[in-house]
Amino acid sequence: MKKKWLYSLTLSNSRLFRIERHFLFWVLVFLYHFIRIGIFYPDDKLWGNLYSITRMAFIWGVCFNIYFTYLFVYYLLPKFYNRKKYLALTIAFILLAISLQFLGFLYNHFNVNGAVSPLIGMDYKNDTFLKLMRPTVIRLLGNPPLICGFFLALKTIKGWYKEQLQNELLAKEKANAELQLLKAQVHPHFLFNTLNNIYSFTLHQLPQAEGLVEKLSDMLRYMITDCNSNLVSLEKEFKMLEDYIGLEKVRYGDRLELWVDINGGGSDLLIAPLIMIPFVENCFKHGTSVMRGKQWIQLKIAVHNNVLDFNLTNSKPPKPMENKNKNGIGLTNVQKRLTLIYPGKHELTISSNESVFNVHLTMELQQQFKTKQPLEITTINTIAYSPTS
């Protein structure tokens, strides 16, 4: 509760919290001046003049600084500095300092704090020049610019921090939007072909139909429900890859040689959803689907010390078909998501030649809190497809 209040006090734009912020700042300024004036007092006269010290600290320390700070920060800077009128800002600053000096001169002239002034070296009696000049030096080169600078620095730091939070929020929203786009792309790309395959198997009453329906159901359930989280279990992501590859294998049949070796770590590892599927989808979409004759895909995934090593190689047509989006929008999006979600914690290399396309990705995975159950190292079914399978 205290942490939430402190956060709101520091960053909230609510009128109440803004008033509290400013009030707290000027209370601290008042205490600073109260202590500063009190240091000059002899010990035997300090307690007898607390009221006079308080009044002088409030007028000199708070009122004059509020006048100078708010006019400069909330009026002069927006009016001149933000419009790059630097000469006008300089002139306005000088006029503001002169007006502040004039107020100080009037205050000293009427000797409002006659009990305090002599004790802190400000008893000028009838010396008008000193009454004018001493406050001038203090007011121009002393507290007001210092307090105003400190106030402006806090305001700038707060604005910068809020901007960073806003940028992080926008980045997360962008990553989430790209994830939703990626999910929408994966659905229609192979869904109709898969349904046609299932329909064909059911017409001939083949037993494979039941397995295909189960794979498709698990995959869609994962994409619709589990992928709404920022991180998902690595095992579930592997299962989704296995289901996807199994469905695509049925589509291409004997003309595709497919080797898949997926060795996973424990169930305590987490990964951003749908990070690997665009690469796998891309090798089917831009490789196998546009080639005649025998094609091949080789996928090897291993996890060691929380680091995932993803290596995907596939055959490619000697003369690729013309495509405005050669790598696919999904592949571009996943590269952006890797940069946003795993900054400095991943390495992606994409290479190709006339006949082979390769993707090599390594990234550091996050580990969730361990449960009381013993950690088990599992191997997600190693799949080895061949033309005769």
Distances in Å between the Cα of 178 and the Cα atoms of 274, 332, 383 are: 11, 10, 30
Kindly report the number of other CB atoms within 10 A of residue 260's CB atom. Answer: 22
Q: What is the distance between the alpha carbons of residues 258 and 256, in angstroms, rounded to a whole number?
A: 6
Lowest-confidence pick of 53-62, 192-201, 207-216, 378-387 = 378-387
Closest CA to 308 of 358, 361, 354: 361
| 281: confidence class by pLDDT, cuts 50, 70, 90 | confident
The mean of the pLDDT values for the chain is 75
- 300 three-state secondary structure: strand
pLDDT tens by residue, 165-222? 888 777 777 766 766 666 555 545 556 667 777 777 777 666 777 888 888 888 888 8
pLDDT at 384 over 60: no
**Percentage above 90 pLDDT, the chain:** 12
Q: What is the distance between the alpha carbons of residues 226 and 356, in angstroms, rounded to a whole number?
A: 34
Residue 306 near residue 367, CB atoms below 8 Å: yes
State how beta strands 269-271 and 232-233 pair. antiparallel
Q: What is the distance between the alpha carbons of residues 345 and 71, in angstroms, rounded to a whole number?
A: 48
pLDDT at 9 over 50: yes
Position 89 scores a pLDDT of 87
Residue identified by tokens 């402190």 is 6
Domains of the chain: 2-141 (no CATH), 172-385 (3.30.565.10)
